[in-house]
Structure 1
Amino acid sequence: MKPDVAKHLPLSPATLHVLLALSSGDLHGYGIMLAVARQAGGQYKIGPGTLYDNLKKLMSAGLIEDSQGEASDAQARRTYHLNELGGEVLAAEIERLDGVLREARRSLRLHEEEQA
C-alpha cells in the first residue's frame, strides 16, 4: 500500500525549500542553507535552528534520510537526501501550489476586468 502523501500537505515554506534543495542531490546542512537562499533569490533565508528542526521532523516523517560522511574524523559532515516518499510529497505540494497560483491569477483577472 502506497503511503498517503496528502497527510504531509500543505508544507511550510521552510519545509518546502528544504525538500526542494534536496531534490537536486545530497547536501549537508550548510549546503541546504545556501541552496535555499539561492533558490529564493536571497528573499528567503533559513537559519540553523529552523533548518535542523525541519531536518529532524522530515526524518521522523520518513521524507528524508541522513548519512554520515565516509570520513571517520570528527569533521565528517552528515548529509541528507530526499527519498522516494519525500519526492512524492514535494511533487504533490508543487501541484497544489500550482493550483493555488492558477486560481489567484484567475481571481486577479476577474478583479481587473471589474475595475475596467
Structure 2
Amino acid sequence: MPRFDSLEAGALTDISYYILLSLIEAKHGYLIMKTIDQMTDHQFTIGPASMYTTIKKLLAAKLISEIGGTGDRNKKTYVTTKKGLELLQKDVERRRKMVEHAEKAFYKKGE
C-alpha cells in the first residue's frame, strides 16, 4: 500500500507548515531552524535530517525554490513560492477551523 503524501493531498505536516512559514523571506538551512525555534518560543524544534528531507519534498512539489546563495557557496538559500504561499494560506485556514472545532467541543463539555 503506498504511503499517504500529505503534500499531494494539499495538507501540510507541522514541519512543512513551519518551513514554508519561515521561508516567506529567503533563508539558508541553519537560519530556517533558528527562525522556527524563535517563532515557536522553543516549542517546536526541527533537526537537520528532518528539515532537509522535508526541504527536498517541498522543492519537488514546487512549494519552495532554491535561490542564489548568501555568499558562502556551500549554503543553499530557499524561499516559499507563490504556490507554496497559496497552500500555506489554505492550511492556516484549515488549522483555524480545527481550533474552532476544539473550542466548540470544550464549550459543550463545560455546559
Q: What's the TM-score once normalised by structure 1's chain length?
A: 0.84
Note the residue ranges of structure 2 that are not aligned, 5 or more in a row.
1-6
Q: How many angstroms does 1:8 deviate by?
A: 4.3
Q: Does 1:13 align with 2:14?
A: yes
Identity %: 29
Distance 1:93 1:12 in 2: 10
| Greater Rg by CA | 1
Match of 1:62 in 2: 62
1:1-116 alignment runs, 5 A limit? 7-23=8-24, 25-69=25-69, 71=71, 75-76=72-73, 77-113=75-111
Distance 1:69 1:58 in 2: 18
Distance 1:104 1:51 in 2: 29
Distance 1:53 1:18 in 2: 11
What is the aligned-residue RMSD (CA, Å)? 1.5
Q: Count the aligned residue pairs.
A: 104
* Mapped contact 1:27–1:79 kept (Cα < 8 A): yes
Note the residue ranges of structure 1 that are not aligned, 5 or more in a row.
1-5
Q: How many angstroms does 1:10 deviate by?
A: 1.9
Distance 2:61 2:35 in 1: 22
Structure 1's 42 and 70: CA in aligned 2 closer, same or farther, altered over 3 A?
Answer: closer
Q: What's the TM-score once normalised by structure 2's chain length?
A: 0.87
